[in-house]
Structure 1
Amino acid sequence: MTTISKAKILFIATDGFEQSELLDPRQALLDAGAIVTLASNKDSPIQGMKHHEKGDTIQPDVALSQVNAADFDALVIPGGVANPDALRMEEDALALVRAFFAASKPVAAICHGPWLLAEADVIEGRRLTSWPSIRTDLKNAGADVVDEQVVVDGNLITSRKPDDIPAFNDAIIKAIEAA
């Protein structure tokens, strides 16, 4: 069993996150020994989605405004259409993304999650993947967008969809081990 004992991983999400893209990587990281923190722009439970249907809710641990990237080893951004669309309007979320990139710490985004990366202006010249409907946005932000299960470009890890979660989880764990 791979172990990343005591690694501190930050997830950022709000209402509309794709349930499997937050809960499955979170559980894989917990199982590997990581300490996982969920930050949000809300202090009440946030609503997960199972594609277009409401899923479970989860209680954030901390407010985005109270998080310092220096306290964490990696950042994970789940998808879902509404989640990154809302977060890209939150300056605290954008500042966190930029801080993780500035420190060259692993940043993992799946599905629509890379939308937040485009808004943070951190993907120009980077190779990545995403859900098909946002690929033009990512190309317009200067990224080299490909259609692959998981793409690792330096500290950046991206995947396309829930079916890619096992490969996404493996890539995150390997990146944290190497960091």
Structure 2
Amino acid sequence: MSQKLSGKRVAILATDGFEESELAVPKKELDSQGITVHVVAPDKKGIRAWAETDWGDTYDVDVALDDADVASYHALVLPGGLFNPDSLRVNEKAQAFARHFFETGKPVGAICHGPWLLINAGVVKGRRMTSFPSLAQDLKNAGAEWVDEQVVVDSGLVTSRKPADLDAFCSKLIEEIGEGRHSEQHA
């Protein structure tokens, strides 16, 4: 456990249909570093995972989005899946929650289809990013530079393509959280 990560708080914003490994693995890795991790969702009831080809486990929600104190978190993680980010990207409260991290220079990690929310939040223009390949054109249309790489870091924004990239994603995410605020991170 790292001393500089002890006391940090991270929100994982998700709803039904998140890719199970893209929430479970980062949560476990962040927990192992002494970071307090809260699963934040549009409401307080449990959220159901998508486990590659079928519905997976139901995960507890720590804080409902309406009750989440965005200022109390040091970083944000956005897991992918198809249903989860598609639902969150049209949720104005989720957009505002995500946008806050960019406005305040805090690290954000988004994997797979997670960047969909960032497109709708209006924070990807001019950013170098990766994602699941089917989002490449969406990101380009929103003004991002899309690249096909395992993990991309752009001033506190960490993105990866798929579950196979989770080791690299988690490693860079932990590094960015340790660095703290990034003055180049912007909305």
For the aligned pair, the TM-score class normalised by the smaller chain equals over 0.9
Please give the per-residue CA displacement for 1:8-27, whole angstroms capped at 9, x wherever unaligned: 00000000000000000000
Instruction: Check if 1:17 corresponds to 2:18.
Output: yes
Runs (4+) of structure 1 moved beyond 2 Å?
none
Instruction: Check if 1:59 corresponds to 2:63.
Output: no
Q: TM-score, normalised by structure 2?
A: 0.93
Identity over aligned residues, as a percent? 49
Q: TM-score, normalised by structure 1?
A: 0.97
Instruction: Check if 1:105 corresponds to 2:115.
Output: no
**Is 1:68–1:96's contact at 8 Å kept on the other side of the alignment?**
no
Gap runs ≥5 in structure 1: none
Q: How many corresponding residue pairs?
A: 179
Please give the per-residue CA displacement for 1:121-169, whole angstroms capped at 9, x wherever unaligned: 1000000000011111111000000000000000110000000001100
3-state SS, counterpart of residue 9 of structure 1: strand
Alignment partners' CA distance in 2, 1:117 and 1:12: 12
Gap runs ≥5 in structure 2: 181-187
Please give the per-residue CA displacement for 1:43-80, whole angstroms capped at 9, x wherever unaligned: 21111011221111101011111112210000000000
Q: 2:165 matched to which residue of 1?
A: 164
Alignment partners' CA distance in 2, 1:53 and 1:133: 20
Please give the per-residue CA displacement for 1:79-117, whole angstroms capped at 9, x wherever unaligned: 001101000111111001111000010000000000000
Alignment partners' CA distance in 1, 2:161 and 2:117: 15
Measure how far apart 1:33 and its partner are: 0.4
